[in-house]
C-alpha cells in the first residue's frame, strides 16, 4: 500500500511545480510581497522544488528528500550516506559513527512547527534511521555533534527569526502558508 502511495506522490512532482515554488520563494526573498500577503506552497510544489531546483545544492551524501505536511507537523525523510556526508566536510567520521551508520540509510524525522510574531520553532518529535526509532538522547547527541557543527543555523527547540519580514509560517495539511509581516524586508540571505 505504501509503495502505491509513493508512486502516486512521485507522479505529482514536476519541473513546472518546482518553478512555481521557486518563483514564490524568489518573490519573498526579493521583498516583493505585500504586507499581510499570504504565499501558499503546496506539498507537491515543495517536493518538486527539492527534486528539481534544489537537487544541485543538496549536500553530498543526501538524496531523495521528501516532506509531508500535517497541521503543525513536518514529516521529512531523506536517504543519507553518512560516511559520504561526513567525509564531504573534509574529515571522515569517527570509527564508531562509521561502523554504526555505514551505507545508505533512510532517515525519517517528525518535527512539530509553530510560529508567530516573526519567529519560528521546530521541536523534534521522533527520528528513525533505517526504520529503527532513535532514542531522544541520541537524537540530541546527533544534532549537537553531527548536524550543528556543519549547519550552525539548524536550531532545534528554541525560537529563531523567520527572516524576510515574515510574520508567520503556518504548516497545514499538504501546504505551508507564509504570511508577510507589515514591513517586507529585503533579502536577508537565501531561502532554501
Domain residue ranges in the chain? 2-180
Question: Alpha-carbon distance 150 to 144, whole Å?
Answer: 10
Residues recorded for the chain: 192
Q: Model-level pTM greater than 0.85?
A: no
Q: Hey, what's the torsion of the CAs at 168, 171, 172, 177, to 10 degrees?
A: 40
Distance, in Å, from the CA atom of 55 to the CA atom of 129, rounded to the nearest integer, reads 22
Residue 8 to residues 81, 126, 156, Cα–Cα distance (Å)? 26, 25, 32
> How many angstroms separate the CA atoms of 34 and 182, rounded?
8
| pLDDT value of residue 54 | 93
* Contact between residue 143 and residue 104 where contact means Cβ atoms under 8 Å apart: no
If we measure between CA atoms, which residue out of 57, 115, 60 comes closest to residue 87?
60
Residue the block writes with cell 549547519? 151
Identify the pLDDT of residue 63. Answer: 93
Regions of the chain where pLDDT drops below 50: 1-9, 186-187, 189
Query: Given this model, what pLDDT does residue 192 score?
Result: 57
What per-residue confidence (pLDDT) applies to 83? Answer: 76
3-state secondary structure of 121: strand
Per-residue confidence (pLDDT) for residue 182, from 0 to 100: 83
- pLDDT, residue 97, reads 67
- pLDDT of 73: 97
Amino acid at each position: 500500500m505504501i509503495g502505491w502511495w509513493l508512486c502516486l506522490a512521485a507522479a505529482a512532482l514536476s519541473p513546472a511545480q518546482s518553478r512555481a515554488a521557486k518563483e514564490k520563494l524568489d518573490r519573498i526573498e526579493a521583498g516583493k510581497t505585500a504586507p499581510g500577503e499570504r504565499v501558499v506552497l503546496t506539498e507537491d510544489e515543495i517536493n518538486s522544488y527539492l527534486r528539481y531546483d534544489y537537487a544541485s545544492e543538496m549536500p553530498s551524501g543526501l538524496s531523495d528528500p521528501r516532506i509531508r505536511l500535517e497541521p503543525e507537523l513536518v514529516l521529512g525523510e531523506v536517504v543519507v550516506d553518512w560516511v559520504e556526508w561526513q567525509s564531504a566536510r573534509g574529515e571522515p567520521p569517527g570509527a564508531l559513527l562509521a561502523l554504526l551508520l555505514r551505507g545508505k540509510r533512510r532517515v525519517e524525522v517528525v518535527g512539530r512547527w509553530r510560529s508567530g510574531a516573526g519567529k519560528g520553532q521546530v521541536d523534534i518529535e521522533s527520528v528513525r534511521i533505517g526504520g529503527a526509532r532513535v532514542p531522544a538522547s541520541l537524537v540530541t547527541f546527533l544534532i549537537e555533534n553531527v548536524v550543528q557543527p556543519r549547519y550552525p543555523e539548524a536550531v532545534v527547540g528554541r525560537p529563531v527569526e523567520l527572516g524576510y519580514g515574515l510574520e508567520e509560517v503556518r504548516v497545514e495539511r499538504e501546504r505551508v502558508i507564509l504570511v508577510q509581516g507589515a514591513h517586507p524586508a529585503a533579502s536577508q540571505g537565501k531561502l532554501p
